[in-house]
Structure 1
Amino acid sequence: MILTHSVKVRVATRPCDLRKSFDTLSVVVRDELREDPLSRKLFVFFNRSADRVKMLYWDGSGLWILMKRLERGRFCRPRALSEDRPAISLKPEALEMLLSGIDLKDGMQRAWYELPEKP
């Protein structure tokens, strides 16, 4: 996934039921994250087991949903800074690293993400 530096990224710190789609994720953004789902921010949600991620984005003409399911391993889901903050901001570069298997806390690529070398 390619993100420009101008995209604002908001990551939900609580697990989300990823069976939700456009309308119900928009309600989560509005009611739980207290944000506008049409604000042109990229909203990122992880499931409880952190092996799936779903993103919601308004591009000005419609909503996009992008989802990734890991075949093995888990994402290193960012944690809340405090209980009263339902989302945190990430730079697009940090989201790219997180989705690429980099543990943002330790700066190390997780072993499950290592790709086999080509012969």
Structure 2
Amino acid sequence: MRAGFDTALARVVKMFGPAHPHHAYLFTNRRASRMKVLIHDGIGIWLAARRLKQGQFAWPHLGSEPKQRALTHEQLAGLMLGLP
């Protein structure tokens, strides 16, 4: 995942339009071992990253749904903490 702040923000704008305040946009690499989170806190935009030494981030099952999905606070916390 080489995407920096500008690239991640450009992907958000291309897919969703301008970043919305109090929203987070998550990206992972293909192996789901790295995650970047673009967060609009209402004042500015932050980019955070997390890398797993082993294992993968377990996304909620999407099935045949599009790759865009709204997560609940509990789902986001579980994803970031690595809960099953």
The TM-score, its normalising length taken from structure 1, stands at 0.61
Q: Are 1:102 and 2:83 an aligned pair?
A: yes
**Cα drift, residue 81 of structure 1:** 4.9
**Aligned residue identity for 2:50:** K
1:23 aligned partner, one-letter code: D
CA displacement at 1:99 relative to structure 2: 1.6
SS in 2 for 1:24: helix
Pairing 1:27-38 to 2, within 5 Å after superposition = 27-31=10-14, 33-38=15-20
**Runs of at least 5 residues in structure 1 that lack an aligned partner in the other structure:** 1-17, 104-119
Q: Distance in 1 between matches of 2:56 and 2:41?
A: 29
- Contact (CA 8 Å) 1:40, 1:58: kept in 2 or not? yes
Matching residue within 66, 72, 91 for 2:72 = 91
Pair 1:39 & 2:21 matched: yes
The letter for the 2-side match of 1:34 is F
- 1:6-45 alignment to 2 at 5 Å? 18-31=1-14, 33-45=15-27
Kept in 2, the 8 Å contact 1:51–1:69? The answer is yes
Deviation, structure 1 residue 52: 0.6
Number of residue-to-residue matches in the alignment? 84
Task: Name the CA shift for 1:86/1:73 in 2 (closer, same or farther; >3 Å).
Answer: closer
When residues 81 and 40 of structure 1 are mapped into structure 2, their CA distance, relative to the original with a 3 A threshold, is farther
Aligned to 1:14: none
Q: Which position in structure 2 is the counterpart of 1:77?
A: 59
**Structure with bigger gyration radius:** 1
SS at match of 1:102: coil
Cα RMSD, aligned residues only: 1.9
Q: What is the CA–CA distance in structure 2 between the aligned matches of 1:23 and 1:37, rounded to whole Å? A: 12
Which one scores higher on RCO, CA 8 angstroms, separation ≥ 6? 1
Equivalent pairs: percent with the same residue?
33
Deviation at 1:65, TM superposition (A): 0.9
